Structure 1
Amino acid sequence: MADSTTKRLPLTTQVKNLLWSESGGYCQNPKCRVELHLVVDGDRRHQAEFAHIIPAHTGGPRDVDDPTLSDYERAQPENILVLCPSCHTMIDKAPAAFPAAMLREWKQHSQRARTQAFGTPVFDARADARGHIEPLLEANKAVFDRYGPRAGDFDDDRADQWQRHVAGTIIPNNQQLQRVLHANRHLLTGEEKATFHTWAIHAKEFEERHLKGDWTAGSTRFPSAMATILEDGQ
């Protein structure tokens, strides 16, 4: 628990290095993404600013979003964005328009972009790519078969297990599947690319339902061809 007042703790070198790596040297506002390194009069400099999501001290912008955060937690990388000066000023001048939840989404977007660019394997053979994604598809199917919704089944324990495995297994697996298939789309047939795009819409809507509570009617169903994507003979 934070005290009635908090004090600004300096960011450690380790935290700064992690943040630089996470951002890739670009503003983490997904609508900006300006490069933060530049050359001025022959000197290489940066224009990055480390922006707190929940402020470093009590009473700052967005403090009401999580006022119990401790001094230590406020100085950790999970609470910091790397922004250009313009975006940093913008979010702190209008905190109501840029709540903590939105800024955390910016951070997650940047993390996913870095992983997609540098942390996802690219394969030369379809069989190798299939071998990588098959365990993810099988794990998701096992969760659905065991705990997935069934017509007329209103068992609370089953529903609780479903929600737990959705958050802990299916959604993370879906995110990894999307990264791998996107990075290896050169191995997909035309029909498989169409299947992948339909599944990606399904996965996005599925995540929004279970993490954001958006239960909009008419959601895209899981395309059955996704289960055999990249298999021999496709």
Structure 2
Amino acid sequence: MATPQKKKKRLKLEQWVKDQMWSESGGHCQNPDCRVDLLSFVKRKHIAELAHIIPASDDGPRSEDGTTLTEAERALPENIVLLCPTCHTVVDKAPDEYPPDALHEWKRMSEEARAIAHGTPLFQSRSSARSVIEPLLGANKAVFEEYGPADNLFDDSRADQWRKQVQATILPNSREILRLLAANRNLLTPEENAIVHKFALHIQQLEDRHTKGDWTPGSVRFPTEMTSIMEGDK
């Protein structure tokens, strides 16, 4: 008679991973439709649950999406989302409704909200804000001029570099610009607010193309007015 195989013990999450998740989430459920305070229910206890996006074991929800992840990679913060018990149950009971891309987006939105609330400086003047935003715009411009789509200059090598630099430089810089502008919207003119909305739509569509493969035609182009945002007096 064959000896039954012992079930492999799942890798325990290290304390630094748990600490990072509390910091990333701000102590709130990372489901954007929930956002419940995970410390408010029971005195001196929390109700947070550390949920795997790709499961720790190969028979868990969404396991078919993580065949290339090692056991160690599954225990990193990039693969963990902090949820309340209800949301944790829901996402694991209906994995088709909550695929990895959706949960990663929850993490991104949570990090964005925390950055705006706690990690973004408030400026006293337009010139101070401009001094921080201008280098980010300049870096993006340099990448576009070097690798961006151009007539008769978009070979495979250039296209590969463009995709790489969009994800490594343009998207992170642009998210930081949007956070700075959102936190300091009182310094913007009404006309500039409209430009920022157009820029946000442009960046969202750029991200959709380069991270989700959504090449829907008719996307919003970079509004050239952004190059002079926050210049001069209000």
Query: Who is 2:221 aligned against?
Result: 221
Query: Who is 2:25 aligned against?
Result: 23
Amino acid at match of 1:82: L
CA distance in 2, matches of 1:228, 1:212: 30
CA distance in 1, matches of 2:185, 2:90: 38
What is the correspondence of 1:176-191 to structure 2 with a 5 Å cutoff? 176-191=176-191
Percent identity reads 56
Query: Who is 2:140 aligned against?
Result: 140
Per the TM alignment, residue 6 of structure 1 is displaced from its structure 2 partner at its CA by 4.8
Cα RMSD, aligned residues only = 1.7
Question: Which runs of 4 or more aligned residues in structure 1 lie more than 4 Å from their structure 2 counterparts after TM superposition?
Answer: none
**Structure 2 unmatched ranges of 5 or more:** 1-6
1:12 aligns with 2:27: no
Amino acid at match of 2:81: L
Contact 1:26 1:35 in 2 (8 A): yes
CA distance in 2, matches of 1:69, 1:201: 32
Amino acid at match of 2:137: L
Cα deviations across residues 19-61 of structure 1 (Å, max 9, x unaligned)? 1111111111111111111244xx3332111111111222111
Contact 2:61 2:92 in 1 (8 A): yes
CA distance in 2, matches of 1:160, 1:68: 23
1:163 aligns with 2:150: no
What is the correspondence of 1:24-39 to structure 2 with a 5 Å cutoff? 24-39=26-41
1:164–1:68 Cα change, 3 Å: closer
**TM-score, reference length from structure 2:** 0.91
1:70 aligns with 2:54: no
**TM-score, reference length from structure 1:** 0.91
1:103 aligns with 2:103: yes
Amino acid at match of 1:20: W
Per the TM alignment, residue 233 of structure 1 is displaced from its structure 2 partner at its CA by 4.5
Per the TM alignment, residue 107 of structure 1 is displaced from its structure 2 partner at its CA by 1.2
Query: Who is 1:57 aligned against?
Result: 57
1:74–1:163 Cα change, 3 Å: closer
Query: Who is 2:122 aligned against?
Result: 122
**Structure 1 unmatched ranges of 5 or more:** none
Per the TM alignment, residue 151 of structure 1 is displaced from its structure 2 partner at its CA by 2.5
Per the TM alignment, residue 74 of structure 1 is displaced from its structure 2 partner at its CA by 2.0
1:71–1:229 Cα change, 3 Å: same
Per the TM alignment, residue 137 of structure 1 is displaced from its structure 2 partner at its CA by 0.7
Amino acid at match of 1:24: G
